[in-house]
Amino acid sequence: MATDPSSVANQRVVETLASRLRRRQVVGSRETALETVLVLRQVISKVRFSNIDQLVEIIRSVGRKLVEAQPKEHTVGNTVRKVLHHIREEYHTASQGTAVVSTSKDTLSIAKFVLQGQPRKQNVPQKTTLNKSQVMLKENDEDDPDAFARTLKPVLMEAIQDVLDELETVYDNISKNAKDHIHSDEIILIIGKSSTVEAFLKAAAPYRKYTVIVADTAPSYSGHDMAQSLSSAGISTVLVPDSSIYALMSRINKVMLGAHAILANGGMFAITGSLLAATAARAHSTPVVVCAGQFKLTPQWNLYHEYGALDFADPSSVLGFEEGNLVDKVDVVNPFYDYVRPELIDAFITNDGDHPPSSVYRLIKEAYDDEDYEL
């Protein structure tokens, strides 16, 4: 007897995460991604299913619930898609018996794609020869409905562990090549506090001597924390107000941005001020590189048409609540994110290699299954 997908979605763990997401008690792309994987693992370890479709449907319903709770935290949906992709992959491997030469993660890059052509997914269904020596996957077994789940669950857990591992090592993997991107005596402009950018810069610090200019990033002023953290790591750091970004741009060799979500068209959502920096960089033809984990790749691409997609926070950081006289007369708009167009970005540095914005759609196609674009 399979578990009813809707009842799974109402499970306590799911409900808890959904409400925490809704209440913004879990924030930050990586945090939310990790929480999502953990919840999915908990759900899968408990549910009963007798064929792959049921399992997929269960996970999708959980994913739907979480995404609805917080549509602006795109990594939730991405993680669910990623897990689904891995599950299908494992399922195919198990049902085919013979281990398909699985194109592992590190081979997924534009370079490899050009060399090898279509990735494995399209090849998989053609291989129908089953290795009888392998344990047979019995789908829809009348006598023992749990047999399928029993055989598959260990591999599923492994697959989820893979996703988890990837998330946990994402900063290391991104900053692996840091010293190839940062050269000595470079001046790099960064904005806001992004853990990815922070790890990336710190990884290059032992090898290169360079200067980082950190913008204040009003109204959150997260640039202050960032500057503190970088300078304590021994990087020469300069903190400047946002207003001087353009003035300084002629001296800057590279603009380095973090991302909230990378859209399929190559554009991205990033902390407010990123658009300002990217546009100023364009005026001076300064390269703009974005450091982001692969889990930020989002299959949607036309989100920027929606005004609300930028996620507007409360006005208090812009106009203090104590300014009683003004509150009634002034409408304050305080967006969390800027949408940065693909034309303004030169490269994405991910844990999956470096890519230009124009090939992001390929990355997405490799990372997720087409049928999951809409959860």
Partner 1 sequence: MSPNTSSSTGKDKLIVDEEEVLQAVILADSFNKRFKPLTTHKPRCLLPICNAPLLDWTFESLALAGVQEIFVICRSHAELVKTAIKNSKWSKPGAGLKIVPIVTAKETFTPGDAMRDIYTHGIITSDFVLVTGDLVSNIRIGDVVREHKERRKTDKDAIMTMVVKQSGVNHRTRSRGDSAVFVIDPETSKCLHYEAVTGYPPKKYASIPREILNEHPEVEIRNDLIDCSIDICSVEVPSLFQDNFDYGDVRRDFVHGVLTSDLLMKSIYCYIAKEGYAARVRDTRSYDSISKDILARWTFPLVPDDNHPGGHSYEHLRGNKYIAKDNSVILSRTCKIGNNTLIGSKSQIADNAQVIASVLGQQCIVGAGSIVRNSYLFDGAVIGPNCVVEHSIIASGVHIKERTRVERGCLIADGVVVGPQAKLAPFSRLSKRRQDSDEEDEEFEDAEEEVKTATTEDEVDSELEDVEANQDPEALAKLGPGTNAIIWPLPTVDEDEDIDELEHPDNQRLMRIGDNASDLVLSDPGSITSSGQADSAVISEFQQEVKQSLDRAFAEGHSVDNAAVELKTLRMASNVSLRLVREAVIAAIVSRIKIMAGGGIPQRQEIASMISRWGGLIDKIGGVDPVETVEILQEYCASSDRLPLFGQILAALYQDDIVDEDDIRAWHGNSKSQGQGVKPTSLQDNYNKCWVTGAHMIKQFDEQDSDEESEEDSDDGSESRDPVVENPVTKELPSAGANSSEENSCEENSDEEDEGNTDEDDSE
Interacting residues toward partner 1 by CB under 8 A: 10-12, 14-16, 19, 22-25, 35, 38, 41-42, 45, 68, 70, 72, 306-308, 312-316, 321-325, 327-328, 331-334
Looking at residue 102, its amino acid is S
Residue closer to partner 1 (CB basis): 101 or 333: 333
Min CB(217)–partner 1 separation in Å: 18
CB 123 within 8 A of CB 96: no
Q: Return the number of the residue (29 or 350) whose C-beta is nearest partner 1.
A: 29
**Do residues 17 and 72 touch, judged by C-beta distance below 8 A?**
no
Closer to partner 1 at the Cβ: 42 or 93?
42
Q: Residue 130: how many CB atoms within 10 A of its CB?
A: 13
What is the nearest approach in angstroms of partner 1 to the Cβ of residue 133? 33
Are 238 and 211 in contact by the 8 Å Cβ rule? The answer is yes
Shortest Cβ distance from residue 62 to partner 1 (Å)? 13
C-beta of 180 vs 314, nearer to partner 1: 314
Q: Which is nearer to partner 1, 240 or 332 (CB)?
A: 332
CA distances from 99 to 102, 104, 128, 345, 367 (A): 7, 12, 12, 39, 20
Q: How far is the CB of 79 from partner 1 (least distance, A)?
A: 15
Pick the closer one to partner 1 by CB: 143 or 328: 328
Report which of 193, 158, 153, 160 is spatially closest to residue 33, judged by C-alpha positions: 160
**Distance between CA 230 and CA 249 in Å, rounded?**
20
Minimum CB–partner distance for residue 40 and partner 1 (Å): 10
**Spatial CB neighbours of 105, under 8 Å, sequence gap ≥ 6:** 166, 352
Q: How far apart are CA 307 and CA 322, in angstroms?
A: 28
Closest separation between CB of residue 228 and partner 1, Å?
A: 21
